[in-house]
């Protein structure tokens, strides 16, 4: 191989240069054959034109009217929102008031219920007390009647005993008198 290079050194140099060039083309690329395209831009180019001042004034008036209309629409929307907020606030206040009234009514109802229950308890206690007093009165009346009956029976027994004693004493006196008369009669006859 070195013999070929020695015989034709120019061919060897050209071959080396050619390989280097191919290598460079492979590294760098061969896009230089295609003409470069300018980058796309989204910016629109304004082209100057002569315009009619009346058309400009009319367009300005139209834009001004549109802006006024937009502002008026915004104002109306803002007013509508404010009115809606006011209505919501009023509805909320009304609901709160109704809730407070409901709570107050519920509290009054509970108080009335508690008062009614207390009155029922008081009436039951009074009825119970009256019933107990009536029972005591009936028991006392019964005791009194029993005591009166006992006293009457004892009185009757005492009266019967007294009557029996009197009859017995009278019988003894009559027997003694009879004996005495009989003895006096015997004595008189003797």
What confidence tens digit (pLDDT) does each residue in 117-143 have? 999 999 999 999 999 999 999 999 999
For residue 10, give Cα distances in angstroms to 18, 24, 83. Answer: 12, 21, 99
What confidence tens digit (pLDDT) does each residue in 82-101 have? 999 999 999 999 999 999 99
Q: Give the phi and the psi of residue 158 in degrees, each rounded to 5.
A: -65, -40
Average pLDDT over residues 155-184: 88
What confidence tens digit (pLDDT) does each residue in 108-119 have? 999 999 999 999
Amino acid 178: pLDDT: 85
Residue 180: band (very low, low, confident or very high) from pLDDT cuts 50, 70, 90: confident
What confidence tens digit (pLDDT) does each residue in 16-48 have? 999 998 888 777 765 656 666 766 666 666 566
Q: Of 4-8, 15-19, 175-179, which gets the smallest average pLDDT?
A: 4-8
Please calculate the CA angle 91-97-102 and round it to the nearest 5 degrees: 125
Residue 37, H or E segment = none
Amino acid 145: pLDDT: 94
pTM (2 d.p.): 0.36
What confidence tens digit (pLDDT) does each residue in 181-190 have? 888 888 777 6
Q: Give the whole-angstrom CA distance, residue 170 versus residue 24.
A: 183
70 three-class SS? helix
Does the pLDDT at position 172 exceed 90? no
């Amino acid at each position: 191989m070195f013999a070929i290079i020695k015989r034709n050194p120019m061919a060897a140099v050209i071959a080396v240069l050619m390989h280097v060039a191919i290598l460079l083309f492979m590294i760098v690329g061969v896009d230089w054959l295609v003409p470069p395209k300018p980058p796309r831009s989204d910016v629109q180019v304004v082209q100057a034109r002569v315009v009619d001042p009346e058309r400009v004034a009319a367009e300005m008036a139209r834009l001004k009217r549109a802006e006024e209309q937009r502002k008026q629409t915004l104002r109306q929307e803002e007013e509508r929102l404010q009115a809606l907020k006011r209505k919501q606030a009023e509805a909320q206040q009304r609901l709160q008031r109704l809730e407070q009234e409901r709570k107050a009514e519920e509290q009054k109802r509970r108080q009335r219920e508690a008062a009614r229950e207390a009155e029922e308890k008081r009436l039951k206690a009074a009825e119970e007390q009256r019933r107990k007093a009536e029972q005591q009165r009936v028991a006392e009346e019964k005791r009194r009647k029993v005591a009166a009956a006992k006293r009457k029976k004892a009185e009757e027994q005492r009266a019967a005993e007294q009557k029996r004693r009197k009859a017995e004493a009278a019988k003894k006196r009559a027997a003694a008198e009879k004996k005495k008369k009989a003895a006096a009669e015997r004595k008189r006859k003797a």
